[in-house]
Structure 1
Amino acid sequence: MNGQTPLQGWTIVPTPQTMQHKAGIALLPMCGRINEARAAGDDRYILAAQLIDDIRAATGLEWDIATGDRWPGFITLTILDNPHAHPSGSYTLDITSDGVTVVGADFEGVRNGVQTLRQLIRQCGAALPCLHIEDQPAFETRGYYLDVTRGRVPTLDWLKTWADKLCLYRYNQLQLYVEHTFAFDGMSETWRGSSPLTPKDILEFDDYCAERGLELVPSVSTFGHLYMALRTQSLRDLGEFPESADEPFGFIDRMRHHTLNISDERAFALSTKLIDDYLQLFRSDKFNICADETFDLGKGHSKPLAERIGVAAMYADYVTRLCRHLETQGKQPMMWGDIALEHPEILEQLPEEVILLNWQYDPQVTDEKIRTVAESGATQIVCPAVWCWNALLPRIDDAWNNITRMARYGAQYQAQGMLVTDWGDLGHVNDPRMAIPGMIIGAQEAWNPGRVPDEADMLRRISRLEYHDASGELLDILARASHAACFQWNHLVTWLELDDGQDGVNTGVLQTIQGLLPENERPDDVIRTLQNESRTPSLAESRRILLRYLKHHIALGETADHLLQTSARRISAITATAGPRIAGNAAAFRVAIEGQRTLNRVGLRLASEAGVTGTLQSCEAIQHDDAANLAAALEIWMEAYAAQWSMTSRDSELQRLQEVVFRVADHLRSASRVQSVL
């Protein structure tokens, strides 16, 4: 049959293009063998080993591996005799009572068929349904983009775990976003204290990815987003605004600018050093120079050049030089497309070989910018997001809407592929395990866009396959819990960083308040206050403006607490039946939910202190939530959070997150003491 896998009992993600169910069950032998042809290109028989591991976990049985025509196996992995007649990555899977056969067009095809078989083994154990699958991907490139620089540097073990998961869901590319968290020679001032990745890490991880059919593509910021580098004594003179180098560290400030002054030729030398040093560690023939959000370009030290030739020409000339530099070394350049789309004339000036990474994260995104790049003739990859940044709980609804739309537009305008992004703005407070639902949605849409009818069906599939939840309800509960995030991590960071550290107001942070809410939720009266203020308000006034702006969200905190408590109970009950296989996810869910409950309470308390009126005045939570107890709750939660951090990540910037929490705890106790005196 064509269409959906029945949800009774088992599911496959991504959904195959064509699947025929047949009568009967294939029972795996007690002492079985996997025969993997050498022609498959899997020199270390990693694919056969994956199957053996899953068979052992699901059945307790031990199987053997062999190759050649004298060692038949119940499971056969082989490659087509005429692979060029079929698309790369395509495969067939036949399960009969006599045996199981995976035939791929190439190594990637065999790998993809094996992943489908692994999913069935995980759900059905030794009793597999008889069926015939013919399958191929919609997009040539199905990539994942993981932030390893804005606060959280994963351990190598976790990176391997993530690569295994990407492999299971048939991704074929991975990029790690790096600004300063790599141990470049001669640049210790930039990466010190960040728990950086090392050349050995990359070499080992590159091998690990390649063996699982993942191309590890190097990606380094070479133009904008150089906050840590441009704060150093050695490199600060290369920034557009070197005078800002000594300003106190700020999570929000790190996101806003910090662009190279490209009118200084030393800037190009720095960019090419980063490129040349890094690319030698990867087998990929591609390199992502990033070059996004160069907000400062032409506004600081390079302003004279901008006045002479224009910002668009400056940008186009510089990225073209970087692309040509890569091409001389046999590498295909990739770069983010946002600046070129802001100045469409740049599209006509870029080298033909460059791949534009067209990122659009709006859940209601339109096709306008994808169409613009397609009409220019440039090669593009569409880039949606898993929607986890700045928050403890994943915004799964937003991820679904964003990813499905971008996949549809990508297919419509014949994009080369899709790259699903996973960012860690403001310290990467989001646990990487929270990105799993969005990652799997991305896998589905990159392989077979539009096949799953709706979000509810997709979440049931993921709940059953990934989290072993027979009810299929887990992710729906988690998605609903995220709607109860009334006072979020980015709200708390904004409240803190309005303080410029010198008893004044950080006006740059003040300007970001309006962007904290979608346009249709922004209170007009507060916006008018922000726009019409003829002077810089005091710190207390600025914080009051922020809390008034968020008032209607904060006021829901008391009601939201009931939803979060209920969600925690229901998720705990579901995950308990899944056994130890998802214990880590269960802990991550619990810590995130309890953390959001505590943040909601903090928002209510801060709003009360600031005299934000209305429904907050009569809030029972404020009346009964002692500030000292709330401070203690924050600190206790942070201990649990830090323990979970260490499950996936190096120390990196955990201390910065702790400082945020401890500063708020200190404020609560201090404010409580002042009020008691009054």
Structure 2
Amino acid sequence: MISGGGEGRGGERRWVLIPEPKSMREGRGALLLPVIGRINESRAVGDERYVFAGQLVDDIRAATGLEWDIVTGDRWPGCITLTVDGGEGTSCGETTSGGDSAAPSPGGLDARASGAYTLDITKDGVTVRGADFEGVRNGVQTLRQLIRQCGAALPRLHIEDQPAFETRGYYLDVTRGRVPTLDWLKTWADKLCLYKYNQLQLYVEHTFAFDGMSETWRGSSPLTPRDILEFDDYCAERGLELVPSVSTFGHLYMALRTQSLRDLGEFPESADEPFGFIDRMRHHTLNISDDRAFDLSCRLIDDYLQLFRSDKFNICADETFDLGKGRSKPLAERIGVAAMYADYVTRLCRHLETQGKKPMMWGDITLEHPEILKRLPETVTLLNWQYDPQVTDEKIRTVARSGATQIVCPAVWCWNALLPRIDDAWNNITRMARYGTQYGAQGMLVTDWGDLGHVNDPRMAIPGMIIGAQESWNPGRIPDETDMFRRISRLEYHDVDGGLVSVLADADRDVRFGWGDLVTWLETGGAPSVAEGSAGGGPGAADAALRDRMIRIAPMLARTGACGATGIAAAGAVILLALEGQRLLERVGRHVALAAGTTAGETRGGGIPVPSDMDPDRLAGELERWMEAYAAQWRTVSRESELRRIEAVVWRTADRLRRGVWRV
């Protein structure tokens, strides 16, 4: 484990850094921060509001109770100096390579590379020196992590560090049921900054208040232009590029159900079908043989891009399942679906280029029809998403051989579930990082989706997000998931023993009937597979196993104080609530298994046994009480948005239990 700052339990160091630096040498002893101190941040950094110095002041206050000042210029020495190569600023003493600091170890690093930095902590003070604005930002985040763990006694060391990928992005779904509050978005941006991400995209279908499109976004608690302007500024100040992302081709479910726009879809006759979480994911593609479709796509692009400072724009264009199958079928029969797709996205890309923007798009359709690769504009960046935990390098290699620019896109694996699938996230992210490095990808974009109503609380994605931070900065450095989980537990959750994330990962292994299974049962009438899990096959085994996880996790959370805190630190309460919700779902699953033909004491297709003493009325009441607690947590980070749809699923389940539909 990367080390320093004194020994912890079992000889293990008492602090960790994520991402782990490329090169670090430790000196002897520690630097004791002064009671009355200053942070000198050079104007050359380009941090006009001194956000980075302010981050350090806040963390020093939180860790030590000390109140520090912020200064700039060469006449105001500070114990901590933030500067760029060639920038002014002095500290308590010479700190760049002090005698008691370990000697620099270049190791092939390029100190001039964007995002690169050095961090020196000597007996005289601290210096963060960046190659540029982003480099200073990155060095400050490393120092913040040390302060949070070591307080006023910082280990003496010398770090030289730079990222593996130019782009280290996070992609957050804000459209499939959950629209975050602006405060939460800012909190999440702070968290991404701490872990050295430098790009953020928000996935939007219908949850932005476009002029003249209220029929599309009504009832969704949409983001507004003012929200975007304020959030764009907030991100930029923290070294995050907020890139606009809007569905402009496929995934236009809500828009194509309206009276105003339904005629632009491939299947307008389906517009009046009842809402369904599953149906929302399946199709709803523009009929691009109608000229009005291109006008709509350009309108979405033109209205949205003016609110962002980024020179990039993600047109999405993924999963256009209906293309050429409905109203545009005659065109498909004439020129082919691949040509239709290539022509349309090329037109959108050219439209962006005329406005000085660099187009981005998902790569799934292009990889289904590789001939499209030859027809795309050279300026486009393909977002190559592959979510299989055992993903191979085939599709990354295909794009690389074509010469197209690509960003590899793994996932935090939280969708359709109350509990995160952290093992899957680890396997998926580490593989994609390795392939991205191998084939020269421009970067990595870690995706966080909310399929089927976005029941997954965004705070449950923190372990996956941190894995993505490590792998996009220094891929392959952490030997295994056990080591990574321990590091996350200690740094993020302040769990000294380092076991919290591993227990949370174990909890998902106990799941045999989850949110996705329940929605599938209710919306399609089909009996989902209720697979036997690691908990064994006895009645209520998964329920009992999850209860055991809660018993193990609760003391960990009590030690960290996470349960009683506010904001992002409230992850403890969220974890316990998710575990309790999953326990209830397991009990519902036993009723579903019975309804699907399982009798008491028997199993169906290797599924779970159904006991004869279950009380559906009691379970219905427990579900309803849990839903109230869940709704309260939802509102701490999200707008009302589509919470009602989550509630409807739970109420419908409770009603069916009480009506005796699932009675034993």
TM-score for the superposition, normalised by structure 2: 0.92
Matched, 1:120 2:109: no
Code of the aligned partner of 2:337: V
**Partner SS, residue 359 of structure 2:** strand
Residue in 2 that maps onto 1:521: none
Name which of 598, 602, 609 aligns with 1:615: 602
Residue in 2 that maps onto 1:73: 78
Matched, 1:216 2:242: yes
Residue in 1 that maps onto 2:556: 574
**RMSD over aligned Cα, in angstroms?**
1.7
Residue in 2 that maps onto 1:23: 28
Name which of 430, 440, 451 aligns with 2:456: 430
Deviation of residue 278 (structure 1)?
A: 0.1
Name which of 552, 572, 588 aligns with 1:586: 572
CA distance in structure 1 between the aligned counterparts of 2:87 and 2:480, rounded to whole angstroms: 37
Alignment of structure 1 residues 302-341 onto 2, 5 Å: 302-341=328-367
Residue in 2 that maps onto 1:232: 258
Deviation of residue 623 (structure 1)?
A: 2.5
Residue in 2 that maps onto 1:398: 424
CA distance in structure 2 between the aligned counterparts of 1:403 and 1:10, rounded to whole angstroms: 24
Alignment of structure 1 residues 239-318 onto 2, 5 Å: 239-318=265-344
Code of the aligned partner of 2:81: T
Residue in 1 that maps onto 2:508: 482
Residue in 2 that maps onto 1:111: 137
Residue in 2 that maps onto 1:563: 545
Deviation of residue 450 (structure 1)?
A: 0.2
Residue in 1 that maps onto 2:123: 97
**Partner SS, residue 193 of structure 2:** helix
**Partner SS, residue 612 of structure 1:** coil
Code of the aligned partner of 2:622: A
Deviation of residue 607 (structure 1)?
A: 1.2
Residue-by-residue CA offset, 1:445-501 (whole Å, 9 max, x unaligned): 0000000111000000000000000010000000000111110101000000015xx
**Partner SS, residue 304 of structure 1:** helix
CA distance in structure 2 between the aligned counterparts of 1:634 and 1:439, rounded to whole angstroms: 30
Residue in 2 that maps onto 1:627: 616
Deviation of residue 81 (structure 1)?
A: 2.3
Residue in 2 that maps onto 1:60: 65
**Partner SS, residue 461 of structure 2:** helix
Residue in 1 that maps onto 2:581: 595
Matched, 1:146 2:176: no
CA distance in structure 1 between the aligned counterparts of 2:385 and 2:609, rounded to whole angstroms: 43
Given the superposition, is the C-alpha separation of residues 675 and 624 from structure 1 closer, same or farther in structure 2, using an over 3 Å criterion? Answer: closer
**Partner SS, residue 428 of structure 1:** coil
Greater fraction helix: 1
Matched, 1:9 2:35: no
Q: Is the 8 A contact 2:2 2:17 kept in 1?
A: no
Residue in 2 that maps onto 1:514: none
Residue-by-residue CA offset, 1:237-265 (whole Å, 9 max, x unaligned): 00000000000000000000000000000
Given the superposition, is the C-alpha separation of residues 135 and 60 from structure 1 closer, same or farther in structure 2, using an over 3 Å criterion? Answer: same
Q: Is the 8 A contact 2:482 2:502 kept in 1?
A: yes
CA distance in structure 2 between the aligned counterparts of 1:216 and 1:623, rounded to whole angstroms: 54
CA distance in structure 2 between the aligned counterparts of 1:416 and 1:472, rounded to whole angstroms: 33
Code of the aligned partner of 1:622: P
Matched, 1:46 2:51: yes
Q: Is the 8 A contact 1:294 1:339 kept in 2?
A: yes
Deviation of residue 390 (structure 1)?
A: 0.3
Q: Is the 8 A contact 1:120 1:128 kept in 2?
A: yes
CA distance in structure 2 between the aligned counterparts of 1:470 and 1:601, rounded to whole angstroms: 34
Code of the aligned partner of 1:559: A
CA distance in structure 2 between the aligned counterparts of 1:593 and 1:131, rounded to whole angstroms: 41
Residue-by-residue CA offset, 1:576-604 (whole Å, 9 max, x unaligned): 11124475111100110000000000000
Deviation of residue 555 (structure 1)?
A: 5.3
CA distance in structure 2 between the aligned counterparts of 1:479 and 1:420, rounded to whole angstroms: 19
Structure 2 segments unaligned to the other structure (5+ residues): 5-11, 89-109
Residue in 1 that maps onto 2:369: 343
CA distance in structure 1 between the aligned counterparts of 2:539 and 2:44, rounded to whole angstroms: 60
Q: Is the 8 A contact 2:593 2:608 kept in 1?
A: no
Name which of 473, 495, 499 aligns with 2:521: 495
Matched, 1:649 2:638: yes
CA distance in structure 1 between the aligned counterparts of 2:613 and 2:364, rounded to whole angstroms: 48
Residue-by-residue CA offset, 1:103-158 (whole Å, 9 max, x unaligned): 00000000000000000000000010000000000000000000000000000000
Matched, 1:88 2:114: yes
CA distance in structure 2 between the aligned counterparts of 1:43 and 1:462, rounded to whole angstroms: 32
Given the superposition, is the C-alpha separation of residues 178 and 675 from structure 1 closer, same or farther in structure 2, using an over 3 Å criterion? Answer: closer
Residue in 1 that maps onto 2:8: none
Structure 1 segments unaligned to the other structure (5+ residues): 500-542
Name which of 616, 622, 625 aligns with 1:636: 625
Q: Is the 8 A contact 2:406 2:441 kept in 1?
A: yes
Code of the aligned partner of 1:127: A
Fraction of identical pairs, as percent: 75
**Partner SS, residue 212 of structure 2:** coil
CA distance in structure 1 between the aligned counterparts of 2:148 and 2:603, rounded to whole angstroms: 49
Q: Which moved more, 1:556-565 or 1:624-633?
A: 556-565
CA distance in structure 2 between the aligned counterparts of 1:145 and 1:611, rounded to whole angstroms: 41
CA distance in structure 1 between the aligned counterparts of 2:648 and 2:341, rounded to whole angstroms: 37
CA distance in structure 2 between the aligned counterparts of 1:434 and 1:85, rounded to whole angstroms: 35
Count of matched residue pairs? 627
Residue in 1 that maps onto 2:530: 550
Name which of 353, 362, 384 aligns with 2:410: 384
CA distance in structure 2 between the aligned counterparts of 1:90 and 1:552, rounded to whole angstroms: 48
Residue-by-residue CA offset, 1:190-240 (whole Å, 9 max, x unaligned): 000000000000000000000000000000000000000000000000000
Deviation of residue 269 (structure 1)?
A: 0.2
Alignment of structure 1 residues 31-42 onto 2, 5 Å: 31-42=36-47
CA distance in structure 1 between the aligned counterparts of 2:545 and 2:36, rounded to whole angstroms: 49
**Partner SS, residue 466 of structure 2:** helix
Deviation of residue 388 (structure 1)?
A: 0.2
CA distance in structure 1 between the aligned counterparts of 2:210 and 2:519, rounded to whole angstroms: 30
Matched, 1:421 2:407: no
Q: Which moved more, 1:48-57 or 1:83-92?
A: 83-92
Residue-by-residue CA offset, 1:421-442 (whole Å, 9 max, x unaligned): 0000000000000000000000
Given the superposition, is the C-alpha separation of residues 58 and 420 from structure 1 closer, same or farther in structure 2, using an over 3 Å criterion? Answer: same
Deviation of residue 644 (structure 1)?
A: 0.7
Residue in 1 that maps onto 2:93: none
Given the superposition, is the C-alpha separation of residues 619 and 362 from structure 1 closer, same or farther in structure 2, using an over 3 Å criterion? Answer: closer
Alignment of structure 1 residues 152-231 onto 2, 5 Å: 152-231=178-257
Residue in 1 that maps onto 2:651: 662
Code of the aligned partner of 1:573: P
Residue-by-residue CA offset, 1:619-652 (whole Å, 9 max, x unaligned): 8873232010011111111111101101110000
Given the superposition, is the C-alpha separation of residues 260 and 70 from structure 1 closer, same or farther in structure 2, using an over 3 Å criterion? Answer: same
Residue-by-residue CA offset, 1:310-345 (whole Å, 9 max, x unaligned): 000000000000000000000000000000000000
Q: Is the 8 A contact 2:590 2:609 kept in 1?
A: no
**Partner SS, residue 131 of structure 1:** strand
Residue in 2 that maps onto 1:502: none
Q: Is the 8 A contact 1:604 1:616 kept in 2?
A: no
Deviation of residue 611 (structure 1)?
A: 2.3
Q: Is the 8 A contact 1:93 1:133 kept in 2?
A: yes
Q: Is the 8 A contact 2:418 2:581 kept in 1?
A: yes
CA distance in structure 2 between the aligned counterparts of 1:469 and 1:307, rounded to whole angstroms: 60
Given the superposition, is the C-alpha separation of residues 616 and 669 from structure 1 closer, same or farther in structure 2, using an over 3 Å criterion? Answer: farther
